[in-house]
Chain A
Amino acid sequence: MSKSTASSGLPGPVRRYGPYAFLGVVAIWTLLPLFWMAISSLKIRRSMFEFPPTIFFDPTLQYYVDMFMGSNPVTPFLINSIIVALGTAVLSVSLGTVGGYGLSRLDLRGKKHLAFWIISTRMAPIVVVVIPLFYLYSYLNLLNTHLGLIIAHTTFNLPFAIWLMRSFFDEVPEALEEAARIDGATKWEAFRKVSLPLVWPGMGATAIIAIVFSWNDFIFALIFTSNATQTMPIAASQLVTQTGTLWGRVMATGVVILLPMVTFGVIVKRHLVSGLTMGAVKE
């Protein structure tokens, strides 16, 4: 211990417990507001604003019942969110995979510039493109459609998707495809049967990014949709009314927005562990 202390210049206990303390602070910083939201959604309005806050209280599910059973239920918003998020994920992952493969494998002139141009489209803030897109969409009859929102979200996700997939394809040695082509595969078969199964974790990661973006997006959804296609973040914003803010339902809606993402994250985490290509080649 003394040896390693000398090498790092930090006393032993700091070296040992420091990282945990730091992670603990980060965890509290991140989770406390979410925890607050979750318990507030179970409190009656009066106790929600008590100071000091009560930790032990009679929980109520009234807001959740209202949200799904009461007037103006949240269910259609939820369905819209799911449709748009899944559509965006499918489109982003498909196009991102093809684009990323091309950028990784093809011997193009100016490939670096092309790659930079692709990611640079992501550098403008969303609000800059919202107005022009609105005009475009109104000509194309894409306003207030799921497809319109999916296209808008995909446009913003695709640069990330392409870059991410490119880096995953870069990790797959070209020799694997060459081996497959000598073994009797066409270029397409080599891609589909050898490379694609190996970038599966990358496709998962890309899907998560696409879904999270689409699920959380507010600006596109606010401007491009109306009643029939509005998503969950719009549902939450509508709870701020002229007569006051429905805090209980805001909190409950927040939880409902959050839950699928958390569940999804836990499920796909396992698939994100890379190392699938380990043992493929010996470098």
Chain B
Amino acid sequence: MAQIALNHVSKAFNNGSIVAVNDLSLEIEDEEFLVLVGPSGCGKSTTLRMIAGLEDPTGGDISIGTTRVNNLEPRERDIAMVFQNYALYPHMNVRENIGFGLRLSTDLSDADIEERVEDVASLLEIGELLEKKPKSLSGGQQQRVALGRAIVRDPEAFLFDEPLSNLDAKLRKQMRTEISRIQEQLGVTSIYVTHDQEEAMTMGDRIAVMNDGTLQQIGEPNEVYNHPANQFVAGFIGSPSMNTVEAEAVRRDGQTVLESVTSDAFTYDLDATGDTNADLPIEVGDRVTVGVRPEDVVLRAEAAAFEGQHHTTTVDVVEPLGSDNLLYFDVGSRTWTARVSPGFEPESGTSVHFSFPRKALYIFDEEGTTVESRNLADPAEARQVTHGDGGDGVVNT
């Protein structure tokens, strides 16, 4: 087992005209499960391939354990990789697929190899598939074989390149748990690339969010969710995405008010809540983006349900999810989402009222950097208000 370090690593293609990874520095602790997450083309897969040795970095150093591996062939790095398309050898049966690496890279006897293959197969519950060819396996089974091929070599690190994206939703969740379990059990340092923020949140000890080849933030899942470094991370992590509206800080009747710039659909009085805004680093006249998580939006049918400030809007679409409902409505020119209890299901076109606690507010400056993130002692605090009494509660401010 080993730690992995990336030190100012860059990768450019086409003589530098396309920069896939830009000055990336990362340290993955021994036995840690790090998830690299970001949209397509953000450089996460390229990063993984550089660690694997399948791409050469154009700058910076990569080390595994105490060894600088920049000039080592993939086979010399003692890592295992699980590919998005599994990359099983179609002409070999499952037994040969799993044993292939051992035959090439170790001096183990045939009997020892057999034993290890059998062990891994039983760990993954694919013992009865050993004589089958990959093409006769289901997607989930192929995935297990690919996993087995990685595990059997007992490598310094596992690299996962979107390994679950070809599975159906149910199987994906199942394999997610399984990969986490196996990683914990074996204690192998792992880097897991995905574009699925839910996978990132549920699997990673830490998650590293990338965009445009640049690292945006690295931290524990809850930290990244509650305190995103910037507007990109805030929008990318969390589903449905964070609601945002562009606003300007203005002074009205001695109060600091956030007023939406696109229309007068939205104003939010920062001082009305009684919380101090003394350390809020925005000045009157500043352009900011206001963000609220869908679960923090409180929706009520009656305006009277709110004691403090609230806004009126029209429900656009209601998506019942069973456990809760998603309501879509317009604020300014943006579509907002609210996650509400399943009991609250207004018709499309009905007028409703919404607000959100001051503590749930995110504020981003003009560059998108987070100025303030939500400060709920218990992140579920605001949610309980929304869900608890399903229609006539008050805003908890």
Using a CB–CB cutoff of 8 Å, the interface residues on chain A facing chain B are 173, 175-176, 178-186, 189, 193-194, 197-198, 276-283
What residues of B have a CB within 8 angstroms of the CB of A276 in the complex?
Answer: 90-91
Count of A-B residue pairs with CB < 8 Å:
91
Does B83 sit within 8 A of A, measured CB to CB? yes
Whether A175 contacts B85 in the complex (CB less than 8 A), given A183-B104, A197-B91, comes out as: yes
Number of interface residues of B (CB under 8 A): 33
CB proximity of A94 to chain B, nearest CB, Å? 20
Partner of B75, one of A185, A278, A279, A280: A185
CB proximity of B148 to chain A, nearest CB, Å? 12
Does B297 sit within 8 A of A, measured CB to CB? no
Q: Which of B24-66 contact A (CB under 8 A)?
A: 52-54
What residues of B have a CB within 8 angstroms of the CB of A198 in the complex?
Answer: 90-91
Q: Are A189 and B104 in contact (CB under 8 A)?
A: yes
Using a CB–CB cutoff of 8 Å, the interface residues on chain B facing chain A are 52-54, 73-75, 77, 79-81, 83, 85-91, 100-101, 104-106, 133-137, 139, 142, 149, 153, 166
Q: Are B136 and A279 in contact (CB under 8 A)?
A: yes
Q: Are B54 and A181 in contact (CB under 8 A)?
A: yes
What residues of B have a CB within 8 angstroms of the CB of A282 in the complex?
Answer: 85-86, 139, 142, 166
Give Cα A276–Cα B91 distance, bound, in whole angstroms.
Answer: 7
Q: Are B83 and A279 in contact (CB under 8 A)?
A: no
Q: Are A281 and B86 in contact (CB under 8 A)?
A: yes
B134, B136, B137, B139: most-surrounded residue (chain A CB, <10 A): B134
Q: Are B101 and A184 in contact (CB under 8 A)?
A: yes
Q: Are A280 and B134 in contact (CB under 8 A)?
A: yes
B53, B77, B86: most-surrounded residue (chain A CB, <10 A): B86
Give Cα A46–Cα B216 distance, bound, in whole angstroms.
Answer: 93
Give Cα A207–Cα B58 distance, bound, in whole angstroms.
Answer: 42
CB proximity of A154 to chain B, nearest CB, Å? 28
Q: Are A279 and B105 in contact (CB under 8 A)?
A: no
Q: Are A183 and B86 in contact (CB under 8 A)?
A: no
17 extra interface residue pairs, beta carbon distance < 8 Å, beyond A184-B101, A279-B88, A282-B166? A178-B52, A179-B89, A181-B53, A181-B73, A182-B74, A182-B81, A183-B100, A183-B101, A183-B105, A183-B153, A184-B75, A184-B153, A185-B75, A194-B89, A280-B87, A280-B89, A280-B135
Whether A280 contacts B105 in the complex (CB less than 8 A), given A175-B83, A178-B83, A183-B153, comes out as: no
Give Cα A189–Cα B100 distance, bound, in whole angstroms.
Answer: 11
Give Cα A186–Cα B53 distance, bound, in whole angstroms.
Answer: 12
Pairs of residues from A and B, 4 with the lowest C-beta to C-beta distance, nearest first: A279-B135, A184-B105, A183-B101, A281-B85
28 contacts between A and B (CB under 8 A): A173-B87, A175-B85, A176-B87, A176-B90, A178-B54, A178-B74, A179-B81, A179-B149, A180-B100, A183-B75, A183-B104, A184-B75, A184-B153, A186-B73, A193-B100, A194-B89, A197-B91, A198-B90, A276-B90, A276-B91, A279-B88, A279-B90, A279-B133, A280-B88, A280-B90, A281-B83, A281-B88, A283-B85
